[in-house]
Amino acid sequence: MVYHSSFVDDTGITKACGCPLLPLKTHIRGPAPAFDQDKADIVDEAITFFRANVFFKNFNVKSPADKLLIYLTFYINIALKRLEGCRTLAVGTKAIINLGLEKVPVPGEPGFPFPGLFTLPQSQEEAGI
């Protein structure tokens, strides 16, 4: 069974390329609003559903949050591949930090993994979020 995001109601949520900027449990400032530390955010959902969802070839998108769930599942997969050869916590931490610092292609750019799933950015500001 494919697991879908519980963040179905996206009223009042800012979107970038058709993807909602859902609240996150973080102390780092960014475009996403802060979230209650006691509740699961979209990243928690992606980690929880990763094992089950990674086995499915098809995923029926039911809400914009499902698009984000697909992208986060892809990102987790890349992160796990980067950690494969890491022998120590320090090396693994450095690999994940470097992954986070890499330039990520946005919809419409070469190398973007999901052409057609997200809308093209309407401005440079939207592409930079």
pLDDT given at position 45: 93
Q: How far apart (Å, rounded) are the C-alpha atoms in residues 76 and 62? A: 21
Token pair recorded at residue 117? 């799933």
pTM value is: 0.85
**Banded pLDDT at 9 (limits 50, 70, 90):** confident
Q: Indicate the SS3 state at residue 103.
A: coil
Select the more confidently predicted residue: 105 or 129: 105
Task: Specify burial of residue 7 (Cβ count, 10 A radius: 0-12, 13-18, 19+).
Answer: buried
- DSSP codes joined into one string, 1-35: -----S----TT--EETTEE---B--SS-SSSPB-
Residues 6+ apart with CB under 8 A from 96: 79, 82, 83
Q: Where are the domains of the chain?
A: 15-128
Fold for 15-128, please state it. Arp2/3 complex 21 kDa subunit ARPC3 (1.10.1760)
pLDDT in tens, 12-47: 888 888 888 898 988 888 888 888 788 889 999 999
pLDDT in tens, 38-75: 888 999 999 999 999 988 888 889 988 999 999 999 99
44: phi then psi, degrees, rounded to nearest 5:
-60, -40
**Banded pLDDT at 83 (limits 50, 70, 90):** very high
**Does position 129 have pLDDT exceeding 80, yes or no?**
no
